[in-house]
Amino acid sequence: MAIVAALTLLPAGAPGASRPPATRNESAVAAGPPRLVVVVVVDQLRADYIDRFRPFFGEGGFERFIKDGARMTRARYRHGITVTCAGHATILTGSSPAVSGIIANEWWNAGQGRVEYCARDDDSPLVGVHGQGRSPKNLVGSTVGDVLRLSNGGRSHVIAVSGKDRSAIMLGGRVADAAYWMEDTLFVTSKYYRDTLPEWVRNFNASGQATSFFGRTWDRVLPPAQYAGQGPDDAPWERDKGGMGRAFPHVLGSAESTPGKRYVEALEYSPFQNELVVDFAIEAVRNEGLGGDNAPDILAVGLSANDRIGHAFGPDSHEVLDMMVRTDRLLARFLDFLDQQVGLDSTVVVLTADHGVAPVPEYAQSRLPGLGARRVRSRTLTAVAESTLVHRFGPSPDRRWVAFHDAPSIYLNETALEHSDIPVDSAAVLVANAIARVPGINSVRTRAELLRLRLDGDTSPVSLSFFPGRSGHVVYVPDPYVVVEPEPDGTTHGTPWSYDQSVPVLFLGNRIRVGSHDDEVHVVDIAPTLSVILGIDRPAAATGKVLTGILR
């Protein structure tokens, strides 16, 4: 297990160690650190959703943050490749991908000749199920949770929970007690954290709660007329995931007689997965004793279903409105639990997102043709890069010149280029020039250019997503409202444009000054601010500033 030696000195701080169940401290005072910090990350929660859907919210969820907490109305990411793994790594390290090394969900590992998943670790197999190993091995630096545990010999507990492995792992950090995520219908971890699942996790998995949604109908929770302001239901650009269909009502498991792969997919693209994650997080608080003593703990909760639904249906869909209403109600239930179990007077809660999302190009084009919204298939750009090099140098001796393309990064086959005595930088310039001529592409940089910019201290979004050895040989930025992805429908994110960079940042707790703040802040500011609240050093590579204006 990857546990820092200092943490093993005190058995009470070792992973798997239990404490008495958390109970509310009625005499909690504002002085000193909170007993529990909760970080809620809603995957693909665009900043404008808070005001856009606010008329449909109740009083206990988002509204509670707005009225009783601090709201940063102009918060955004500074890096340009705005994707899940990079965003989650940024939140609690306080550093950009240029520092954390988590530039994307995956990149090309030239040394191994394979795609490198951001949380891959072949030496840390999953616990309880078969599957590729996972850990934060690729993460450079430390998180707030890492520093917290190091500050007190491991007496503080840090647990992360999410529907996605990369979300939980990047939030948890390098010395967390555990990161849990869903594999099919089970919550799992890897041997990096624990050799066995705790009894409470095994009991949760054995309860059958995750399969209880088989045959369940996901329908609108509001009167149908309330959805009239959204785009059309059952639009041709919406995706049918898990056999649920493109329009309400969606039935989970309708494509199978018993829960199988199609059901799992439907569950992941439904609000019910978020319910499972929150229920599991509640059990983590109860069974791991989070917030149960004066050693502050951290619980990170990643709600992943919002992202999948946004990809499939788009931000102007009935499904996204319904999902936001359900997320609001789920947050209200979770906050009520925290208040009852630990006490919000002893807790600080932060809510943010890992990225936003672009409008579906076809919908944007139908409403506002002047935006120039369009779709560019990523395979088209791959073909342009490959054909450019074939035209100049002939066929590759190793099947292809392009080793890997994951928008917006193109990786060249270094082995083939070296075998043919072709300078990699020269080939990258040829590809960059060709990609720049494709309609819908705004700008293009080569790896050599980005390295020079890095050395010059450039802080543009494309530079803040550049990490030597992991970034592509060619990195492009599409025009605003141009979506580049493999699919012919749905939508995506991953650009430096405001709809992808801007996210909510909300703080709640009695150490937080109530109010709305309209100065521009960045997501990297969350980690330094939490560090001050906890009374610890900031993470080693944090580049953000402390949001002093929100602190009492």
422/432 Cα distance (integer angstroms): 16
* Number of Cβ atoms within 10 Å of the Cβ of 538: 22
Read off the DSSP letter of residue 538: P
Q: For domain 34-292+304-338+521-550, is the CATH number 3.30.559.30?
A: no
User: Which of 322, 320, 361, 358 has its CA nearest to residue 236?
Assistant: 361
364/260 Cα distance (integer angstroms): 36
Q: Tens of pLDDT along 463-474?
A: 999 999 999 999
- Tokens, residue 435: 């990609």
Read off the DSSP letter of residue 502: B
For the cut 60, the answer to whether the pLDDT of residue 420 exceeds it is: yes
Q: Tens of pLDDT along 12-59?
A: 333 334 455 555 443 333 457 999 999 999 999 999 999 999 999 999
Residue 510, pLDDT score: 87
78/519 Cα distance (integer angstroms): 15
Angle at 327 between CA 324 and CA 333, to 5 degrees: 150
59/64 Cα distance (integer angstroms): 6
Q: How confident is the model at residue 293 (pLDDT cuts 50, 70, 90)?
A: very high
Residue 21, pLDDT score: 55
CA 22 to chain centre: 28
Instruction: For residue 275, give the H/E element and its range.
Output: helix 272-288
Residue 20, pLDDT score: 52
Establish whether the linkage from the previous residue to 236 is cis, with ω within 30° of 0. Answer: no
Please give the single-letter amino acid code of residue 368: L
- Tokens, residue 281: 């997080």
For the cut 90, the answer to whether the pLDDT of residue 458 exceeds it is: yes
- Whether 159 and 139 have beta carbons less than 8 Å apart is answered as no
Which residues, in sequence order, are bridge partners of residue 159?
178, 299
> Looking at residues 448-476, what average pLDDT do you find?
97
Residue 363, pLDDT score: 97
User: How much of the chain, in percent, has pLDDT values that exceed 90?
Assistant: 93
For 515, the 3-state DSSP assignment is strand
Same fold, 34-292+304-338+521-550 and 371-485: no
Domain residue limits, the chain:
34-292+304-338+521-550, 371-485
Angle at 341 between CA 338 and CA 343, to 5 degrees: 65
451/431 Cα distance (integer angstroms): 17
132/121 Cα distance (integer angstroms): 8
For the cut 70, the answer to whether the pLDDT of residue 76 exceeds it is: yes
210/187 Cα distance (integer angstroms): 9
- Tokens, residue 457: 């201290």
Q: At what angle do helices 447-455 and 424-436 cross, to 10 degrees?
A: 100
* Number of Cβ atoms within 10 Å of the Cβ of 9: 10
Instruction: Count Cβ atoms within 10 A of the Cβ of residue 19 and give its class: 0-12 exposed, 13-18 middle, 19 or more buried.
Output: middle
For the cut 50, the answer to whether the pLDDT of residue 4 exceeds it is: no
For the cut 70, the answer to whether the pLDDT of residue 294 exceeds it is: yes
- Tokens, residue 540: 């080693």
User: Which of 277, 284, 214, 221 has its CA nearest to residue 248?
Assistant: 221
444/451 Cα distance (integer angstroms): 14
User: Which of 297, 408, 307, 409 has its CA nearest to residue 354?
Assistant: 307
| Gyration radius of the chain's alpha carbons | 23
Task: Give the Å distances, CA to CA, from 486 to 142, 377, 464, 492, 541.
Answer: 34, 5, 25, 10, 34
- Whether 495 and 408 have beta carbons less than 8 Å apart is answered as yes
- Tokens, residue 73: 């109305």
Q: Tens of pLDDT along 101-120?
A: 999 999 999 999 999 999 99
User: How much of the chain, in percent, has pLDDT values that exceed 70?
Assistant: 94
Q: Are strands 347-352 and 36-42 parallel, antiparallel or unpaired?
A: parallel
Compute the half-sphere exposure of residue 423: CA atoms within 13 Å on the CB side of its CA.
6
Which residues, in sequence order, are bridge partners of residue 402?
412
Please give the single-letter amino acid code of residue 127: V
Residue 5, pLDDT score: 36
* Number of Cβ atoms within 10 Å of the Cβ of 29: 9
Contacts of 432 (CB under 8 A, 6+ apart): 444, 445, 446, 474, 476
> Looking at residues 302-311, what average pLDDT do you find?
98
Residue 24, pLDDT score: 45
For the cut 70, the answer to whether the pLDDT of residue 504 exceeds it is: yes
Q: For domain 371-485, is the CATH number 3.40.50.300?
A: no
> Looking at residues 62-88, what average pLDDT do you find?
98
Angle at 412 between CA 411 and CA 418, to 5 degrees: 145
120/123 Cα distance (integer angstroms): 9
